[in-house]
Amino acid sequence: MAGSTLGPAGAVVGGIFGGVVGAFYGRWITDRIKQRRLREAIDRLELAHRRFSAASDEAWREWKDHKEREMRRCSSEISHVATKAKAVMGLLIEQHTNAERELLEIKTGEAEALIKAAMESLAGRRHDLVLQLSQRPFWRRWIWPDITVLGLDQAIETLDAAAVTFRRWQDRIHIDGGINRAEVYAMLGALGLVVTEVQGSLIRLERTRISRAKHRNKRHRQLLKEVLAARRSALQRFEQTAKASLEAAQAKLRKPLSEISDTLAEVQREKAKLG
């Protein structure tokens, strides 16, 4: 009866009510679907973030381990070259020290020739002094000697003492195989014997020292260059491998990072749909 009472108006009201209820329910259903899609997108974003974090940690560990291995290798290479150079330099220093020590001594052949020349010079000088002394008057020579006679006597005694020393050196040379250069030169210099020979020997010694010093310094510079070159090469390789390792780590992160970017964009789109 109600329907008949309301007639067409009731049908209109019923239609409006049904339309409103239907629209509200439809919006509610649509919102629920959109919210579900947003949550799913957020879940995917969180999953992508976890994947990215795991990949990032793994890439970081791999890069760090690779860097440490390369650093140890680089350090080992440099240490090896430096140790080798140090050993060579130590050998050079030892050789130089031994060579300098050898120069402090006159070896048998050179010593014998030098002392023989010195004794010949000494004998000639003594002969001249004895001749000069024999030319002095008898009474001046033996009764009232003057300063000249006393000087000649003293000079002859000095030469005789030097001759004894030279003979002792000759004996020592055959036993020891050499004699102290400074000791010999000091004696010869004091007596003024074989000056030319001593000067020539000193010049040769100085040339030998200069030549050896140049060779030693040149070798030291070469060794230093080798160490620096090895260090530079090792560091360059380390930089190259570290860069390649970092690029590899970045490449591993591109996919999970892209996934984060895509899911973040999806979340933003789903959020925008909710108004």
Residue 141 in any domain: the answer is: no
The pLDDT of residue 35 is 77
Give the pLDDT confidence score for residue 31 in this predicted structure. Answer: 61
Evaluate if residue 273 carries a pLDDT over 80: no
User: What would the two tokens of residue 212 be?
Assistant: 């050896």
Two structure tokens written together for 25: 């329910």
The count of structural domains within the chain is: 1
Report residue 66's pLDDT band, with 50, 70 and 90 as the boundaries: confident
Residue, of 198 and 14, whose pLDDT is higher: 198
* pLDDT for the residue 139: 76
Stronger pLDDT, 224 or 264, i.e. the higher one? 224
| 45 within some domain | yes
Looking at the domain assignment, is residue 135 inside a domain?
no
pTM score of the predicted model = 0.55
Q: What's the domain range around 9?
A: 2-75+253-273
Task: Measure the CA dihedral 18/21/24/26, to 10°.
Answer: -60
| Average pLDDT for 40-45 | 80
Q: Are 253 and 59 in contact (CB under 8 A)?
A: yes
In a domain, 51, yes or no: yes
Q: Is residue 30 part of a domain?
A: yes
Range from 30-34, 60-64, 118-122, 188-192 that averages highest in pLDDT? 118-122
Residue 265 domain-assigned? yes
Question: Poorest-confidence range of 21-25, 35-39, 63-67, 161-165?
Answer: 21-25
Residues in CB range of 237: below 8 A, 6 or more apart: 70, 74
Residue 157 lies in a domain: no
Which of 110, 69, 78 shows the shortest CA–CA distance to 198? Answer: 110
Q: Is position 122 within any domain?
A: no
Q: What share of the chain is helix, strand, coil (3-state, %, to 5)?
A: 90, 0, 5
How far is it, in rounded angstroms, from Cα 227 to Cα 222?
Answer: 9
